[in-house]
Amino acid sequence: MILNKYEKALFYEIFNNKEYSIVDKIICDCKIVFDIWSHIWFFSLYWFKNNPELKIHCFEACKENYQKSKFILKDYEEKIILNNLFADYEDKEKKMHINTEKNMQSSFYNNQFLCKSDKKETVKTVNLMKYIKEQNLDYKNSIDLTKIDIEWYEFELLLNVEGNFFNCVKTLIYEYHILFPDFEIKYETLLTKLKCYYKKIKIIKSKYNDKVGIIVCEN
């Protein structure tokens, strides 16, 4: 498969710069992982390098990314559950803005910084706790690691999902974006909520923009 320059850049960030190395030690002891917005699943390939015994539940709503990932991960069919769905707090159909140049930055938000696009795609969402129950994973620490990189929608999801979701997830890692004033409030509100469920919370700011970064929550 031929990757475009942005996909190559993402590949470099993950495998060379190791942007998610913060969970390298954690992943070695994991059995069940949720990858929420898995793009073209470079993350899964990276994690399989550290732990080939993983079972990964992937959620990618964008049709193009989903089709690419099916090809990229064809050798891992028994270890990956591929979902052409967006993991959300409700079952619904929503309009996604498709970034045709940087497909991995497609978003429910339409903004010049991230995804200024008139192209829209209808995607299906799935209630995350409903999915977890259907997979018989609705018990404490049943999911060893959940990674969320959903292009500004992280506050919408995590502030509205059932609280029991956090009881099920032993380690939560998510990218945050606080580029608007109202997102500052959501950022602080979410941290307050997460402190009720996790003993350790680490904030890793981007070296390029201190309004963007990664948060790791551990029991």
Instruction: List the domain range (segments joined by +) for residue 59.
Output: 5-92+126-218
Provide the number of structural domains found in the chain. Answer: 1
Per-residue pLDDT of 141-178, as tens digits, reads 999 999 999 888 999 999 999 999 999 999 999 999 99
Token reading at 187: 């950022």
39-98 per-position pLDDT tens digit: 877 888 889 988 999 999 999 998 888 988 888 888 888 999 999 999 999 999 998 877
* Residue 115 forms part of a structural domain: no
Q: For residue 114, tell me if it sits in a domain.
A: no
CATH number for 19: 3.40.50.150
Nearest residue to 38 via CA among 26, 47, 29:
47
Q: Is the dihedral of CA 149, 150, 151, 154 positive or negative?
A: negative
Assess if residue 200 is contained within a domain: yes
Amino acid at site 205: K
Predicted TM-score (pTM) of this structure: 0.91
